[in-house]
Structure 1
Amino acid sequence: MPVPGEPGLLAAVTPATAARRTLAPLERELAENRIRLEALTKAFETAEVVYAEGRQTGPQSSTILRGAGEIAETIDAAVGLCKAELLTAQPGGRRPPAILETVVRRNLDLLSRGISQRTLYQHAVWNHPPTAGYIRTVAEAGGSVRTVDEMFDRVIICDRTVAFIPTLSDSPDEALEVRDPHVVRYLANVFEYAWARGTPVDPAAGKRPEIVVSELEQSIVRFLVAGHTEEKIARGLGISRRTVAEYISRISRRLGSVSRAQLGYLIATKGLLPESQDERSCPP
C-alpha cells in the first residue's frame, strides 16, 4: 500500500487488509443490486396479482362449455338476447326431430320480433324429410335458408358479438363460446363466403332444386377423381355411403363405365369437371 508522506513508496500489508480494501466496493455494489432485485421482485409479484384478478373479473374471450344442458342453456340465452341478426351453419344431412321441434319455435319467435335470420345447411338435408320440412317452415316465415355441397364445422353467431363453435374434442357435449371480436368477425366472414355460393331454399318448391342434384354430383365426381373412398365422400358431403354409391352407379351407367378405374378415366376425358374449377380439399 502507499506510504503516507512518501510519494512513490509502497509498504507491504497483510492479505486480510488488502482483501478488505479490494472487496469492499464489490460488496457495496452487490448489496445495492440485491436491494434493486428485491424491489423488482415485489413489483412483478404485485403485477401478477393484478393481472390474475383482471382475468377473473374481466370478460373472457372464450369459454369451454361442457354438458348438453350447459351448452343448450348458454346458446338459448344468447339467442334470446339477439337484437338484430342470427347466423347459423349446420353441417350434415339431418337433425333429430326432437331438436327440430324445439328450434323451430325459437326461430319463429325471433322472426316475429323482426330479427334477421340466415341459416346454412348442406344439400344433404333434402334427403331427410323432417329437416327439409323444418327449413321450409322457417323460410315461409321469412327466414333465409341456403344449402351448399360442402361446409365447415357448426357455428352459431349472435349479433356478431358472440359465437359458438365445436372444440377439438370428439365429444358432442362440448362447445366453445367465443367473444373475442376479432375471432367472431373472422367466423362471420367465413359464413358470408359460404353463404354467397349457397343455393336459396324456395319454400314454394315441392322438391329439391335441380342445381342441388347437379352440385352434389359434381362434388362426388371431383372427389372420385382425387381418389377418395365412398366413406370419406359421404362424410364430407353429409350424406350416406349408400347415397354416394347410388350417385356413382348412376354416373357409371351414363358414361358406360364397368370399373372404378375406367370411370375416373371417362370423367377426365369427357370433361365432367369444369376446367376453371380448382380441386378443393378432401373431406375431413
Structure 2
Amino acid sequence: MKTQEDDAVELYRLMIGRPDLELPGAGEVLGWSGKRTTAAAERLSEYGLLVPLLGEKEAFVVSTPRNAVSRLVAPLDQQIEHLEREAERLRADLGRYQVTYDEAVRGTGGGNDIRVISGLEAINAELEDAAARCTEEVLTVQPGGGRKAESLAASWEPTRAMLERGVQMRTIYQHSARFHPATRQYVNQVCTHGGAVRSVHECTDRMIIIDRKVAFIPARSDRQIALAIHQPAVVEFLVSVFERFWNDATPFSARNRAPEVKTLLSDVRMSIIKLLAEGETDNAIARRLGVSVRTCRSHIAKIYDELGARSRCQLGVLIATSGILDAADGEQGDSGVGG
C-alpha cells in the first residue's frame, strides 16, 4: 500500500517532466482524487519542492532538492552555530570560576592533588598561568604529527618568554612532525633560543610538566577536559616516562637530511609492521604514529610489495614467519648492550 510519501515522490516526478501541468491536470494523469493530489502537493510544499506561482492556486514551480535543503537547513545551521557559541561561552565563564575554586581549595589545604579543568579556554588559561610562573624546566610531549600553524603561532610568545628567562625546555614530537613545514620552522625557533627537541616513532599522549611540580594531561580524547596533577609521586612517575622516551628519541634537525629521512622512514615502517602483527587497523596505526590514514596505507602498500603479500591474512603470516620482528628486537637489544 502506497504511503503519502510515495504519492509525493510520484507527483514530484510527474511535475518535473510536465512543469506545465496544474494540480487538477496532474491528478487526472495519475488517476488520483482531488484530495489525494492535494495531500501529495502539500507534502511537497512543506519541503519547498513545489512553490506556488504568485496569484495562482493550482499552478506550481518545481524546485530542486538542493535548493530546498539550503532553505530549510540554513535556519537550523544558524541555530546550531548560536548554540555552539553559547556553549563555548558558558564553558569559558564556568572555567574561570573553576580556576578560582581550585585556587581557593589549594589555599585552604584541601588536598587538591589532582584537579579537573573543563573547557579549552580554561585549560589554555591554566597552562599560560603555569608557564608564566615557571622558573626552571618544562617537559612536553606533543604526539600526533605536525601541529596547526595557528596553534604554533599562538604558543610561540609564551614559549619565547620562558626560554629568554632561562627556563630549560625539552619537547618530544613524533617522527611524522619532521615532514610538517610549520612545525619544523617552530622547532628551529625553539632550538635557536636554547630549547631542545627530539622525535620518536610512537609516544604517549600529550603531556606538559612544569618545574617537576605540576603535570597536565588530557582527560578526554577531544582534549576539552584536562587534569592538573600536583601529587609529587605521580608527577615523578610522569617525569620518568618522559625521560624514557627522551633517551630513545632522535634529535629533531631543522632541516631533513637524506640519511636521517631514510632512518626515520625505516623506523616508521618497522613500527607499522609490529602494529600489523598485533592486528591493529589502519586507522588505529595512523593514530598511534601521528600520520594520516592515507600516509599509513601508502606505507602498508610498500610493505605488501616488499614481502610479496596479496592479502592482509597473507601479510600477517609473512610477517610472523619472515623473522623481521626477531631481527628488529635483536638490533634493539644489541644497541642497548653496546651503550
TM range (shorter): 0.7 to 0.9
Unaligned segments of structure 2, at least 5 residues = 1-103, 331-339
Q: What is the aligned partner in structure 1 of residue 168 from structure 2? A: 116
Indicate the residue corresponding to 2:244 in structure 1: 193
SS at match of 1:60: coil
TM-aligned CA deviation for residue 256 of structure 1: 2.5
The 5-angstrom pairing of residues 90-129 of structure 1 reads 90-129=142-181
Match of 2:276 among 224, 233, 242: 224
Alignment partner, residue 247 of structure 1: 299
Deviations 1:225-255, CA, capped at 9 Å, x for gaps = 2222111111111111111110011122223
Q: Is the 8 A contact 1:139 1:202 kept in 2?
A: no
**Where does 1:1-284 land on structure 2 (aligned, <5 Å)?**
57-58=108-109, 60-167=112-219, 169-206=220-257, 209-275=261-327, 277=329
Seen in structure 2, the aligned counterparts of structure 1 residues 129 and 203 have a Cα distance that, compared at 3 Å, is: closer
Give percent identity, aligned residues only.
39
Larger helix proportion of the pair? 2
Q: Helix, strand or coil for the counterpart of 1:273?
A: helix
Distance 2:274 2:185 in 1: 29
Partner deviation per Cα, 1:32-55 (whole Å, 9 max, x = no partner): xxxxxxxxxxxxxxxxxxxxx988
Greater Rg by CA? 1
Query: What are the ranges of 5 or more consecutive residues in structure 1 without an aligned counterpart?
Result: 1-52, 279-284
1:88, 1:121 → 2: CA distance?
9
In structure 2, the CA distance between the partners of 1:55 and 1:140, relative to structure 1 (3 Å rule), is: closer
Residues of 1 paired with 2:316 and 2:296: CA distance?
15
- Contact residue 145 and residue 174 of structure 2 kept, 8 A: yes
Letter in 2 for 1:182: A
Scaled by the length of structure 2, what TM-score is found? 0.61
CA 110–55 in structure 1, closer or farther in 2 if over 3 Å, else same: closer
- Is the 8 Å Cα contact of residues 184 and 254 (structure 2) preserved in structure 1? no
User: In structure 2, what is the equivalent of residue 50 of structure 1?
Assistant: none
Q: 1:73 to 1:261 in 2, by over 3 A?
A: same
Cα root mean square deviation, aligned: 2.3
TM-score by length of 1: 0.73
In the TM superposition, residue 206 of structure 1 has moved relative to its aligned partner by 4.9
After the TM superposition, list the runs of 4 or more consecutive aligned residues in structure 1 that deviate by more than 6 angstroms.
53-56
Q: 1 CA distance for matches of 2:178 and 2:195? A: 17
Letter in 2 for 1:147: S
Counterpart Cα distance in 1 of 2:161 and 2:315: 50
